[in-house]
Amino acid sequence: MSAIPSQVRPDDSPADGTKWDRQLAMFAWAGIIGPVLFTAVFLAQERFRAKEYDPIAETVSALEVGPNGWIQQINFAVFGLLTILFAVGLHRGLRPTRAGILGPVLMTFSGVGLLLVTVLPLREDAAGVTYDPGGHIAGGVMFFMTSALSLIVLSRRIANDQRWSSLARYTLVAGIIALAGFFAGGIFVMPDDAPLHQWAGLVQRTIILLVLFPCRVILSVRLLRVARGA
C-alpha cells in the first residue's frame, strides 16, 4: 500500500516562520521596554537627586549634569537604540505602501536624536548654571520633532492595514498634539526668557508621558499581536 503524500506548502516552513515571529516580537518588545525603562530610570534619578534637581523647572536632559550624569547618558543611549529597533519593527510589521518607509525613517531619526544628546550632554559652568556646549539642543529638537512627525506619517500607513487600522486616528491625533506641543514649547517654554520657562520640566514631561510614550507603547503592543499572528 503506498503512503499518502502530505501536502506541504513552500511558505509553511516552521523554521522560517518561527524565526520571523520571534524577530518581529523582539522589535515590538523594544518599543514597549524603551519608553517604560527610560521613564523608570529618570524618575528614580529625580527621587535620589531631589535636593539638587527640580523636575518642574528642569528638563530630563538636566540629569546629565553632575557627577552622576553618566546614568542619564546611558539611559538616553539605551532608549535611542531601542527606538531604532522599534522603527525597524514597524516597517516590517506594517503592510507596505507607497512612500510608506518615511514614517519608520522618521522614527529612526528620533532614536538618532537620543544618541546625539547622549554624546553631546549638557554641562554646568563654575557658577552652577546648566548650558549646552554644542549640539545637545539640536539632538533634542530632532527627537521631539521626528517623534511627532513619525506618528502623523505612520497614521496613513496604519490606516491602510486592516490589522492596524483601528489605531490610525489615535496615532494621527497623538502626533498632531505632540507637534503642536513641540512648537508651543519652543516659543513659550524652552527659551531662557520665555514666559513659562520655569515650567519647562513639567511641560516636557506632559508631552512625553501623556502623548508620545503611551502612543508608542500602544503601537508596540499591536506589533506584538501582529508578530504572534503572522
Q: What is the pLDDT of residues 158-205, one digit of tens each?
A: 999 999 999 999 999 999 999 999 999 999 999 999 999 999 999 999
Whole-number Cα distances in Å, 11 to 8, 92, 161, 227: 9, 17, 21, 16
Taking phi first (over 0 means left), then psi (-120 to 50 degrees means alpha), and beta for anything else, what does residue 99 get?
Answer: left
Q: Does 64 map to a domain? A: yes
What domain range includes position 150? 17-228
Question: How many domains does one find in the chain?
Answer: 1
Q: pTM for the whole thing? A: 0.89
In this prediction, what percent of the chain has a pLDDT beyond 70? 91
Q: Does 10 map to a domain? A: no
Rounded Cα gap, residues 95 and 157, in angstroms: 8
Is 123 in contact with 130 (CB distance < 8 Å)?
A: yes
Q: Does 59 map to a domain? A: yes
Q: Does 91 map to a domain? A: yes
Q: Does 43 map to a domain? A: yes
Q: Does 145 map to a domain? A: yes
Residue 225 pLDDT class (50, 70, 90 cuts): very high
Q: Does 210 map to a domain? A: yes
Helices (H), 94-212: 102-119, 136-159, 168-188, 200-207
